[in-house]
Amino acid sequence: MQSMTGTVITVAPTGAENSKTDVPALPVTLDELVLTAKECEALGASIIHVHIRDADARPTLDPGRLRDTVAGLRESTDLIVQLSSGGAVTDPESDRLAVLDAGPEMASCTMGTVNFGDGVFMNRWEFIVELHTRMQERGIVPEYEIFDLGQLATLQRLLGKHGLPAGGHVHVDLVMGVPGGMPGTTAALVACEQAIRDLPAGTTFSATGIGRSTIPVMLASLSAGGHLRVGMEDTVTYAKGQSVDSNMQLVARAAGFAELAQRSPLTTREARALLGVPTR
Ligand code: KMH
Ligand code: ZN
């Protein structure tokens, strides 16, 4: 089991899949995102996992908007800014690689191809290697996204062939309950936790459960020494028949669960130290 430190809470406020029309509380403008970020930081979040939208609230990887987003979040918060290199399932590899040009402190890096609802989230080996090595060169700390157990073996292969990430610390995020990926269950999380033991000593993990698996995954992760990711990218239902009001509601619940587990939310400074992300 991982050593029980406090809890890193990541907020994933927007994602690329939910539409503003269906979910009006989704933050899609830079102002909405920055306000959400500030409030979530005050409630205990230390990382923000960012997908952005265009003027029509559609997912985009527009380079100028990405740069403005990184600057806006840095100006107003001390959150670790983690850009998604996953984008939407329709985004080409070249645009996904170009996300790194916006200069985030962290970026996601998915460890394999997975069916993603009706789509396919493509992550070829050569693309993974390109993302990993570019991040190494630029000092961007990756969060390795794991949608299925075998992707942890891919990560082991990646690190064995291409070396440790920038900062030297390995951090993975288990994305559980995607239709096409591993289920959001305690059994699946425990299987991943066992496989993480084969990764470099000190590797940390967070977990998120899509949809209704959010609560079981949170509880399982806390009890296994893992960290938490919550947000409207992953969950828009708070309880049966009750829509999520805001990302703050989800972060507040995660912080409450972390307190209950006697693993209080880490500050941004503490999270930076744990994950090898330089302080600003
Ligand atoms: N939107 C998904 C296709 C990531 O951000 O790196 C990919 C995703 C993973 O959300
Ligand atoms: Zn994402």
Residue 233 Cα: closest atom of ligand 1: 10
Tell me the whole-structure pTM to 2 decimals.
Answer: 0.98
280 within some domain: no
Q: Is 184 in the pocket of ligand 1 (CB under 6 A)?
A: no
If you measure from the C-alpha of residue 51 to the centroid of ligand 2, how many angstroms do you get, rounded to a whole number?
A: 6
pLDDT score for 4 = 72
159 within some domain: yes
Task: Identify the burial level of 38 via C-beta atoms within 10 angstroms of its C-beta, where 0-12 means exposed, 13-18 middle and 19 or more buried.
Answer: middle
Write out residues in the chain with pLDDT < 70, as ranges: 1-3
Q: Whose CA is nearest to atom 6 of ligand 1?
A: 86
Domain containing 210: what range? 2-275
257 within some domain: yes
Q: Is 14 in the pocket of ligand 1 (CB under 6 A)?
A: no
137 within some domain: yes
158 within some domain: yes
pLDDT score for 1 = 58
pLDDT score for 34 = 99
Q: What is the dihedral of CA 258, 262, 266, 271, to 10 degrees?
A: -100
Q: Is 144 in the pocket of ligand 1 (CB under 6 A)?
A: no
222 within some domain: yes
104 within some domain: yes
Best residue among 108, 128, 235 to mutate for probing ligand 1, ranked by most atoms within 8 Å of CB: 108
Residue 51 Cα: closest atom of ligand 1: 5
125 within some domain: yes
Best residue among 82, 121, 128 to mutate for probing ligand 1, ranked by most atoms within 8 Å of CB: 121
CATH (domain of 14) = 3.20.20.70
Report the number of distinct structural domains present in the chain: 1
Q: Is 91 in the pocket of ligand 1 (CB under 6 A)?
A: no
Taken as a whole, the chain contains a residue count of: 280
pLDDT score for 3 = 64
Q: Is 128 in the pocket of ligand 1 (CB under 6 A)?
A: no
Q: Residues with Cβ within 5 Å of ion ligand 2?
A: 84
